[in-house]
Structure 1
């Protein structure tokens, strides 16, 4: 592929075994990997794919990969890594390879924040194409609703800036099946004061902590977000954790959180938006895992499901409080996130873990919603699990209009 300036690797080439893998080290049976040097490389690859009947699967960090890239050319966008902040307009422009940590560091210098999640190494673009569930979603809604423009290469190899219309609507949380996004522009939000951290207790305190968590989240202001975790990693004592952010004065947060008594470890402090990733300390190195994400209609069956019996072989469960602005009006394909809680569970890959995830889902019972956001889909899911039939029909129409040859392949295709 001498028509691109970036590196091209094929099976058998030195380095291919590393670069073709997504974040979750399950491997991908791709025909080649192209590391785009710039947007011209992206456009050239798309034109080549059209001329030769190829498909392109696009990744930066690869955190949302579903294993669907088999047989495609994998396009890596890591080198599209420019970040620009306009502090007056309170906006950011981030290339498709930019990670959230870089956005947050640049925004924090101006007392601003993006709608980032827990990990600083997730690409801002991939995260937002899936909707984007942020620490600050309760205050400001979906990250995708803050997008003002997409810079794209269309499925015929042309560059375009998209600010409205059906393609704009589809890309704001409907996945990346319609064009290759090379940069996004989005609104930033004021964060003059931020407080957060993690509290830890032994598992023997879990029921007490769960009841306190349920009580506080039932009446929490939108500035406060709480995530409860039950952790039972191999080789360590089981723990219960509460991770917290509060967009406001530390004294107000301390008072709201006073019912959480006597943690054995407490990292809460005044933070900057650039330090969000320190709260949960998500891993920075790729690994293999099996996971399951679910929306919950309430907490009726959740305490017993999480604490009534051992979770093994599942070794981590996180319960996130939603609500607030997330449940309000949204122009995204998914729309308002009306379910009040979200649960994420993971373990080591294998039949026993998948069976454990199925058992946990069954124990959650009637609390489980019938739908889940695009970003929360697992390899066993399809887009029909994320979007109602009318929305899915509209997304498919966008796909047919903008990529009639099906050159582009998303993590979870709409066709």
Structure 2
């Protein structure tokens, strides 16, 4: 306890130790179904606090786990010091160089607002409240990944605190090993305090969600397959089956297109023969409005999820998706990948050979509900059978899974070597550590 209490005299930010008032709220992850039995929470006031915390942890044999927003928590944090970086909230956009530099506490919504003012975009995912740094350390599967690849591929540099508390700027020239590991290998190697990455032109953007009654699911999936079969890299299409409690189940398609409405509608013409939608929210939009497409929750909530990459989407897979109602799941989403993702990548994950990604989510409001969700997730994956490749993106891992489900043997061996060299005492721990 004294080792943790000593931190108050070293740091400008708030320090909370287990049992103190406010500790439970400070330690809470984004996924409220995950327990975080940490020993203390440090809310860093800046990069100097991060350095001081890591130096103290190194001296005292403590472990520091970084969670800027609490997303991606695995629960494997017993007895550690949880580091929050919300105060590292700087956002700098250079419209001439087309770059952004953001602190470790910044969420994607702020970046998109700043970039959109110049007709630019970053490579965000579906949520505006996910932190840029954690997402990017996990690779980052973006709306625009088919055009621009992993978000991690667009990183120019990281500013880090190493496992001894030293500060450094890391890029491909200064430290190629660490730079490679951080671009999609997770946060197990150093504490990232800011990241600099490329922005991309988005002078025209078309997107939105179209919703039909679930009775149209088979027709929607057929249209989805037709659209993606000839889709250019600028077009991203996701299909969803949803069961919102208290409402009728629905099927929907989410789209973004880096271009104008006229061409987008031609590319999406197969959707027009599905039948009259319940709602059509497509239109020209700002890149700052991407979060409105899926309208994901902006406050923490409980969830149980499973994600898989698929080698294809044949008739059997479609039947597995649509023949059984989504409940007790909240939803099942199928994303079309390919494009730039299928090409060579400098990230530890490498090229994504699988053309589809499926993500299923339930809300475990009780132990009975959790058991039903668990069984439904298992049944869905079993029904997809050999189309499931067995690997998945790092940011898609769920409690109980590991990085062995993400990286190939060579990449994992290299990540583990870098971890041993850079942090032999295990001072820094990510949500899903590479050590094994």
CA distance in 1, matches of 2:396, 2:342: 17
The alignment yields a C-alpha RMSD, in angstroms, of: 0.9
- Tell me the SS of whatever aligns to 2:168: strand
Matched, 1:22 2:29: yes
Q: Which residue number in structure 2 is paired with residue 392 of structure 1?
A: 412
CA distance in 2, matches of 1:295, 1:217: 16
How much does 1:315 deviate?
2.2
Q: Which residue number in structure 2 is paired with residue 277 of structure 1?
A: 291
Q: Which residue number in structure 1 is paired with residue 386 of structure 2?
A: 366
CA distance in 2, matches of 1:236, 1:367: 31
Aligned length, in residue pairs: 415
Q: Which residue number in structure 2 is paired with residue 321 of structure 1?
A: 336
- Tell me the SS of whatever aligns to 2:157: strand
Aligned ranges 1:79-94 → 2 under 5 Å: 79-94=87-102
User: Is the 8 Å Cα contact of residues 226 and 270 (structure 2) preserved in structure 1?
Assistant: no
User: Is the 8 Å Cα contact of residues 242 and 326 (structure 2) preserved in structure 1?
Assistant: no
- Tell me the SS of whatever aligns to 1:260: helix
Which 5+ residue runs of structure 1 have no aligned equivalent? Answer: none
- Choose from 13, 30, 53 the match for 1:45: 53
CA distance in 2, matches of 1:98, 1:246: 25
Matched, 1:104 2:112: yes
How much does 1:380 deviate?
1.7
- Tell me the SS of whatever aligns to 2:187: coil
How much does 1:370 deviate?
1.9
Q: Deviations 1:139-193 (Å, cap 9, x if unpaired)?
A: 0000000000000000000000000210000000000000000000000111000
User: Is the 8 Å Cα contact of residues 20 and 27 (structure 1) preserved in structure 2?
Assistant: no
CA distance in 1, matches of 2:432, 2:100: 27
User: Is the 8 Å Cα contact of residues 34 and 73 (structure 1) preserved in structure 2?
Assistant: yes
Q: State the TM-score, normalizing by the size of structure 1.
A: 0.99
CA distance in 1, matches of 2:234, 2:140: 17
- Choose from 265, 282, 297 the match for 1:268: 282
Matched, 1:294 2:308: yes
CA distance in 2, matches of 1:230, 1:97: 33
Q: Which residue number in structure 2 is paired with residue 78 of structure 1?
A: 86
User: Is the 8 Å Cα contact of residues 157 and 195 (structure 2) preserved in structure 1?
Assistant: yes
- Tell me the SS of whatever aligns to 1:335: coil
Matched, 1:150 2:158: yes
- Choose from 401, 405, 408 the match for 2:428: 408
User: Is the 8 Å Cα contact of residues 317 and 345 (structure 1) preserved in structure 2?
Assistant: yes
User: Is the 8 Å Cα contact of residues 149 and 184 (structure 1) preserved in structure 2?
Assistant: yes
How much does 1:329 deviate?
1.4
How much does 1:48 deviate?
0.6
Matched, 1:11 2:2: no
Q: Name which of structure 1's ranges 234-243 and 345-354 shifts more when overlaid on structure 2.
A: 345-354
CA distance in 1, matches of 2:317, 2:116: 36
How much does 1:346 deviate?
0.6
Q: Deviations 1:270-306 (Å, cap 9, x if unpaired)?
A: 1111100011001001000100010000002321111
Which 5+ residue runs of structure 2 have no aligned equivalent? Answer: 1-6, 365-369
Q: Which residue number in structure 1 is paired with residue 214 of structure 2?
A: 203
CA distance in 1, matches of 2:288, 2:330: 28
CA distance in 1, matches of 2:94, 2:323: 50
Q: Which residue number in structure 1 is paired with residue 170 of structure 2?
A: 162
Q: State the TM-score, normalizing by the size of structure 2.
A: 0.94
CA distance in 1, matches of 2:147, 2:359: 21
How much does 1:137 deviate?
0.3
How much does 1:340 deviate?
0.4
- Tell me the SS of whatever aligns to 2:265: helix
